[in-house]
Structure 1
């Protein structure tokens, strides 16, 4: 048995908190691909396995992680995998592939549960229930690191200390709509600090009554702070008090016959009414809570989530976890919750539509993560039960829509396989496109699609950088992209076990592009990946007259109303969109670059000092050594370094 140190590279950084009391073991077993070999490898681990809490990883002969699990007593839990007759077929397949295990012990079972979620997110094992949609959620951010706090949309890490984060919201659309209404209601600024400091007159937002223009003194600090306090109260669920104050202010302004001010309060009341009226889920008195309900049909699971904050509905979203076949529904929901709250702050209350066997353990783990008490409840009556029933209906409806879409998608993929004479229905389709302007900022792009739709985590961009690739030569660009892509596949997965090898390549181009691609594939020894070129018809594809070119000179056209044609157009357009976006981002970055960026030892501060002193990078390049030494913040050694870079041998 080999003991692996805690700082081993394949251990996640997030596990550092367990370093005080953890040990990691890796045991290698036989390479024979059968059930007996898997059981033998597991029994080898059992010889030295402690009866302590921890996490275990099961790995195949290549070292890829098959499954991540947690246990209160590792020896007892892992022993179950040697009793093959009692295991379901899914776990028997997993054991037959297992050739090694890595064990990490922890202090408590709750820590093991948190570590398990971290490892599942990192390794994406094929035998774990996986949260597919793990992208970050948008928040409303109220920054208070300025005399006049700023309200804005935020997505990502919550690192600003003097700030309040309100969310999560289910989608960018829901947070944008709420943010627009909040600006009308509370007139808080949304501009950046630099924009704020350089205003000499109010901007358009002031004219359309969505900002109080603190930048030019149209409102004082105390009055603005009152607006901020009202916004905080509203976002905390205390909208009744805000509504009462606005109504009172409107009445007082009307009594003074200040009808213009009264109209302002009226508009703000309308904005408040809009926000309240847009709540399709009413949860007054619930405070902060997340609501989850699960529906299952045909081996597919839908989990509906409602986000309630301050008694207000901030949107809902359906999730479709992967790898749920033969997994009990309560286990699916439990695994989903741990992964969902890996990057999301848990609220104080979580409402579920069913009881979980490990509820107390989940509560303990989420309390540890959140830093406050988290309760998991299964309402049986009253308004909370109605909320659960509404979430259940939404989960079932979302599942029905998903199954209908999957059925349609399956028919299209089968038609695709028949049309292009593929060996089987494709599980991974890769589409390639290039983008450049007169050969500048050349980029290649690859998108990935499959039975479940676009796989955006598989998208790749390629900066064209080989010196032998002539600018603007589309054929050479495509050759470089494919050689890099398939060269890496050959190195990392020569046995084609990872599922990263495509079942079909779509190329945006006609006969010439197709011939170039086929030549590249032939040179690389890749003979079994079908390639199809998509060329626009005589009217640039606007009438659905795309021509599909196959190796050997064959051409296929599809009826203008064909569902397969629409699907292929979507794939081609998505690749084009991704390629154009990548190219534009690269071009925008190049516009802000300077020749000073390449000078060793010149960072942003010294670069700024040189540009402020000389005006342009060209002036810096032509400056004498004595002039460089006179620039503020530039030492004699730095000046010599800059001068020598632009005047080698001088």
Structure 2
């Protein structure tokens, strides 16, 4: 295995560009790589003495290989980045916490809406961003509303309005829903907003100043005050730009700092000459890697599902810089420039990003040391063989048994692992209202039955080293029974946490199988940590329950009628004004709605009048 597998594969490898995958005995990807010449690149893996220790382990674990040829090396690079993000091979440098970033979407139509957008850009309209955080995009949206008075409400709310909403009263909307602005004037506001988001703010401010002076000259002081407020809103947006990018309208500034076998990559986003915020990343498997290799892997994965800007400024030159630029240009459909400036204003921006990367890594390393001590304390308190790498905490939330939800949060050496959080909608309709024991039984059964199905050998990192349950001895007994029924008795450490006398924080009791219940000293750091874990599970479960309840409150019965999609639902609501009015309408009235046939009208009528 290992070397023999690779040497046998070499006999049939073409001298062409492509992507290769190293697989283990179970067929899971160990490593994904790309090459201009597949045979030449894979041959390098047969010389173990020249490889770093990480890749030596990878070669020895290889049981098979898969090869995909491509037309060009740039195509191979794009495919490699996609496969690394999808398969997450153990021996590749991996981008962690690759969340999607919010954008501002300026829609289309007669009365375009401005709103926050996250995810795939399928909706028609102009997208501006990305913004590094929800708070950054919310600030930008508020400024847009104050400066350009564009609507932010949904189409359904817009169609149903009969009088201006609160946003109009606080001067953040021009109330197009009730005709307070003409389509021509609203289109002019949309054009100004689009120009502002594209970076032409100075021209807009000059135009607004001219209009303000003209209104004041006509003694139209209320109109002049509106223009004054809009100018002030634009000025506040520009005043918040504490880091500027002179001469460049669209760029990302990316800086890497390494220390102690770890790495931090800080990304600053600049769009339309404005700073849209920054985000820190901590890629894994970077201990032996050089800066150029880390940045090369990061760039490929980071821009796999994001449109690259016209320019990317880097603290270090990445491996295959020209190839990366070609691949990103191919993806963007226009030229993308990669550069590592050494002097001038761009170098100052890199230095600023480097300082942020260094400080972020120092904070993370300090937090990791503190977290490690806390996990050591958890192991000592509960008699574990080693500090837990993965702790799962469970809690339930409901109101009198309705819309019941179970929540699972996960913590480890890096803090809370929010990507691993899970919600469980209680499905068993026979559970009595408020039966927390039965709810916990369902949650734990579903969680560990699935774990046994997906990873029966327990080789992955998704099995917990400790399970904490918000509850007392009764909840602990349920957990013990569930694991016993699944053949896992004694294999997963269990602890229940119950509130102490008078439900005072700090007086919690801890319950373990085969051990008397006990409390921890009030000033014990481990107690505070366990309280944080319990409170996070409580917060998450309550949030999931509220979201489910809100969704049910806002749900329309129209969604349950076959054949009534989003467009017909919108047409019906616009025609009748509410779901209740639709339910009371006659069949002939329903047929009068555009897009509703006689057959569908009968189906809608029967749904409301013949339902048991």
Partner in structure 2 of residue 362 of structure 1: 324
1:585 equivalent among 522, 539, 547: 547
Q: 1:217 to 1:75 in 2, by over 3 A?
A: same
Q: 1:39 to 1:638 in 2, by over 3 A?
A: farther
Q: Distance in 2 between matches of 1:456 and 1:551?
A: 28
Partner in structure 1 of residue 41 of structure 2: 77
Residues 54, 104 of structure 1: 8 Å contact kept: yes
Aligned-residue offset at 1:341: 0.6
Q: Distance in 1 between matches of 2:430 and 2:284?
A: 44
1:159 equivalent among 122, 135, 154: 122
Partner in structure 2 of residue 539 of structure 1: 502
Q: 1:331 to 1:252 in 2, by over 3 A?
A: same
Q: 1:443 to 1:404 in 2, by over 3 A?
A: same
Aligned-residue offset at 1:524: 2.3
2:175 equivalent among 206, 213, 219: 213
Q: 1:509 to 1:46 in 2, by over 3 A?
A: same
Q: Distance in 1 between matches of 2:233 and 2:572?
A: 50
Partner in structure 2 of residue 122 of structure 1: 86
Q: Which moved more, 1:42-51 or 1:172-181?
A: 42-51
Aligned-residue offset at 1:278: 0.4
Aligned-residue offset at 1:225: 2.4
Partner in structure 2 of residue 298 of structure 1: 260
Q: 1:490 to 1:343 in 2, by over 3 A?
A: same
Partner in structure 1 of residue 356 of structure 2: 394
Unaligned runs of 5+ in 1: 1-36
Within a 5 Å distance, the mapping from 1:135-534 to structure 2 comes to 135-143=99-107, 145-161=108-124, 163-466=125-428, 469-526=431-488, 527-534=490-497
Q: Distance in 2 between matches of 1:555 and 1:630?
A: 69
Q: Distance in 2 between matches of 1:383 and 1:597?
A: 56
Residues 629, 639 of structure 1: 8 Å contact kept: no
SS at match of 1:522: helix
Q: Distance in 2 between matches of 1:366 and 1:528?
A: 48
Aligned-residue offset at 1:264: 2.1
Aligned-residue offset at 1:607: 10
Residues 132, 320 of structure 1: 8 Å contact kept: yes
Deviations, residues 481-515 of structure 1 (Å, cap 9, x unaligned): 22222222222222211111110000010111112
SS at match of 1:433: strand
Unaligned runs of 5+ in 2: none
SS at match of 2:502: coil
Aligned-residue offset at 1:610: 11
Deviations, residues 278-311 of structure 1 (Å, cap 9, x unaligned): 0111113211111111101111111111111111
Residues 153, 179 of structure 1: 8 Å contact kept: yes
SS at match of 1:69: strand
2:72 equivalent among 96, 103, 108: 108
Q: Distance in 2 between matches of 1:639 and 1:378?
A: 65
SS at match of 1:554: strand
Residues 140, 154 of structure 1: 8 Å contact kept: yes
Aligned-residue offset at 1:539: 2.9
SS at match of 1:195: helix
Q: Distance in 1 between matches of 2:384 and 2:34?
A: 42
Residues 591, 597 of structure 2: 8 Å contact kept: no
2:13 equivalent among 33, 40, 49: 49
SS at match of 2:253: strand
Q: Distance in 2 between matches of 1:436 and 1:148?
A: 41
TM-score calculated relative to the size of structure 2: 0.91
Instruction: Work out the number of aligned pairs and report it.
Output: 604
Q: Distance in 1 between matches of 2:69 and 2:121?
A: 30
Residues 606, 634 of structure 1: 8 Å contact kept: no
Q: Distance in 1 between matches of 2:308 and 2:41?
A: 28
Residues 233, 239 of structure 1: 8 Å contact kept: yes
Residues 101, 130 of structure 2: 8 Å contact kept: yes
Q: Distance in 2 between matches of 1:352 and 1:618?
A: 59
Aligned-residue offset at 1:222: 2.6
SS at match of 1:363: helix
SS at match of 2:305: coil
Q: Distance in 2 between matches of 1:399 and 1:117?
A: 25
Q: 1:63 to 1:391 in 2, by over 3 A?
A: same
Q: 1:591 to 1:314 in 2, by over 3 A?
A: closer
Deviations, residues 348-387 of structure 1 (Å, cap 9, x unaligned): 1111111123111111111111111101111122111111
Q: Which moved more, 1:575-584 or 1:117-126?
A: 575-584
SS at match of 1:576: helix
SS at match of 1:101: strand
SS at match of 2:241: coil
Q: 1:295 to 1:572 in 2, by over 3 A?
A: same
Q: Distance in 1 between matches of 2:301 and 2:232?
A: 40
Q: Distance in 1 between matches of 2:175 and 2:311?
A: 39
Q: 1:550 to 1:606 in 2, by over 3 A?
A: same
Q: 1:618 to 1:70 in 2, by over 3 A?
A: same
Aligned-residue offset at 1:394: 1.0
Deviations, residues 102-157 of structure 1 (Å, cap 9, x unaligned): 111111111111111111111111111111121110011111x2222221111111
Q: 1:76 to 1:439 in 2, by over 3 A?
A: same
Aligned-residue offset at 1:589: 4.3
Q: 1:194 to 1:490 in 2, by over 3 A?
A: closer
1:565 aligns with 2:527: yes
